[in-house]
Structure 1
Amino acid sequence: MHRLNNLRWGRWLGFCLILLFAAFPARADEQAAWAALEQGGHVALMRHAVTVPGVGDPPGFRLDDCATQRLLSDAGRDWARRLGADLRKRGAAAGRVLTSAWCRCVETAELMDLGPVEVFEPLNSFFGTGDDGARQTEAARELMAAWRGPGMLVLVTHQVNVTALTGIYPASGEIVVLRPGGEVVGRIRP
């Protein structure tokens, strides 16, 4: 019985150590992301904040009518405001803020309050269009590669775009921080 208890204790301790060590890379990853944004000259590639439940947009949605689109939830609006406040508090200045034309992306960018928001069509979603988005992805890569600052380049877009650019499937409201050449520095998760 004593040997069985020691075995269980050892397994439990091993499991706890694995969880503890698994947490440190994520924290280091996030610290590196914040440091890069504070430094400037990096790209903050963000998936729009949390929306009301659903995937994609309702049939017949129109980009010129927010009432026809899936929009941010209250939690998404709160996250965008808090994230923008955190960035400003840390001195992470935005040199330029670009967004997809979708209302949930524009609203995320506006609520972050980092500067004037411009629609940049290559950030528009290509989810469900049958298009692989190669042209849009290349245009976004060229923009990122040319970025030198001052400040960070903020790009608010959709999961499909972030994944095409980085191979990462981001959570809603997550920022993937990149060097201008596209190398991932770290991630800031909601």
Structure 2
Amino acid sequence: MLESLRRLLRAFVLGLACVAGTATAQPGFEVPPAFAERMATRDTLAQLRRGGFVLYLRHGYIDNSRADRYPVGDPDDCSTQRLLSDAGRGLMREVGRGFREARIPVGEILVSPLCRTRESARLAFGDDFRVVESLMYSGNMSSDEKKPRLAALRRLLAAPVAPGTNRVLLAHAPNLADLIGFFVKPEGSVVIFAQRGEAGYEYVATLPPALWAELLRVRP
């Protein structure tokens, strides 16, 4: 009886080890370090007004009544994708208004090819943006498929920004989660990066949609 219990205990411990290994060591995929989120402040907005930052913006709320087709195929075929909901469209208009009221200069705007990200860009900033395939939604991809996109995202975060402007990357939560271990939420949040540090970029703060009003409120 005692020996049977010992065998069961050894099997249980081995099982836990296998599960832990599966969760943290996917073959060929680098696990990002632990992430600590910080909220943007009025001082953060003041820094953004001077330019030189990269702003990773997640698209608006989506209608989850259908799934994205994968592989994507034609990114212009919106019938195969999850699209913005009416609330998501309203959210992106509000985010664009926040940028304008905060007087944040926006230069280069690079956008994922999917319909929901392109529509988010138009609602927030207008039609002056460029679609970049490497920002494609990565949630359905294998680790090998993600590797070149992660390398491209690192380059976009580290590449010099035009003086007096900020670069906007309008894309998806899984992409950034794979790179820095932070799943951007809620939708419409801005993740702010400065261009410094060993990696060539450094996380500064997050600006969720609900924070705009507080940061823009006139102090008594």
- Normalised to the residue count of structure 1, the TM-score between the two structures is 0.77
- 1:144 is aligned, of 150, 157, 180, to 157
Please tell me whether residue 99 in structure 1 is matched to residue 118 in structure 2: no
1:121–1:58 CA distance, 2 compared to 1 (3 A): closer
Measured after TM superposition, the shift of residue 143 of structure 1 is 2.2
Q: In structure 2, what residue type is equivalent to 1:48?
A: H
Q: Is the 2:94–2:124 Cα contact (8 Å) retained in structure 1?
A: yes
Q: In structure 2, what residue type is equivalent to 1:69?
A: Q
Q: In structure 1, what residue type is equivalent to 2:135?
A: L
- Once residues 57 and 192 of structure 2 are traced to their aligned partners in structure 1, the CA distance between those partners, rounded to angstroms, is 8
1:60–1:177 CA distance, 2 compared to 1 (3 A): closer
Measured after TM superposition, the shift of residue 67 of structure 1 is 2.1
Task: Find runs of 4+ consecutive structure 1 residues off by over 6 angstroms.
Answer: none
Q: In structure 1, what residue type is equivalent to 2:81?
A: Q
- Once residues 164 and 68 of structure 1 are traced to their aligned partners in structure 2, the CA distance between those partners, rounded to angstroms, is 24
For the pair shown, which has the larger CA radius of gyration, 1 or 2? 2
Please tell me whether residue 134 in structure 1 is matched to residue 171 in structure 2: no
1:165–1:114 CA distance, 2 compared to 1 (3 A): farther
Q: In structure 2, what residue type is equivalent to 1:124?
A: M
Question: Equivalent residue of 1:30, what SS?
Answer: coil
Measured after TM superposition, the shift of residue 46 of structure 1 is 1.3
Stretch moving more, 60-69 or 35-44: 60-69
- 1:185 is aligned, of 189, 200, 204, to 204
- Once residues 90 and 33 of structure 1 are traced to their aligned partners in structure 2, the CA distance between those partners, rounded to angstroms, is 11
Measured after TM superposition, the shift of residue 37 of structure 1 is 2.4
Give CA-to-partner distance per residue, 1:117-174, whole Å, 9 cap, x none: 1001111112212235121111121122122323110001111112123221111211
- Once residues 105 and 73 of structure 1 are traced to their aligned partners in structure 2, the CA distance between those partners, rounded to angstroms, is 12
**Superposition map of 1:147-186 within 5 A:** 147-150=160-163, 151-171=165-185, 172-180=187-195, 181-186=200-205
Residue 111 of structure 1 corresponds to: 123
- Once residues 55 and 166 of structure 1 are traced to their aligned partners in structure 2, the CA distance between those partners, rounded to angstroms, is 28
Give CA-to-partner distance per residue, 1:17-48, whole Å, 9 cap, x none: xxxxxxxxx8x722154333222110110111
Question: Equivalent residue of 2:167, what SS?
Answer: strand
Measured after TM superposition, the shift of residue 105 of structure 1 is 0.7
Measured after TM superposition, the shift of residue 63 of structure 1 is 1.1
Residue 70 of structure 1 corresponds to: 82
Q: Is the 2:61–2:84 Cα contact (8 Å) retained in structure 1?
A: yes
Q: Larger helix proportion, structure 1 or 2?
A: 1
Question: Equivalent residue of 1:177, what SS?
Answer: strand
Q: In structure 1, what residue type is equivalent to 2:91?
A: W
Measured after TM superposition, the shift of residue 58 of structure 1 is 4.2
Give CA-to-partner distance per residue, 1:49-72, whole Å, 9 cap, x none: 110125851467541211221001
- Normalised to the residue count of structure 2, the TM-score between the two structures is 0.67
- 2:46 is aligned, of 31, 35, 60, to 35
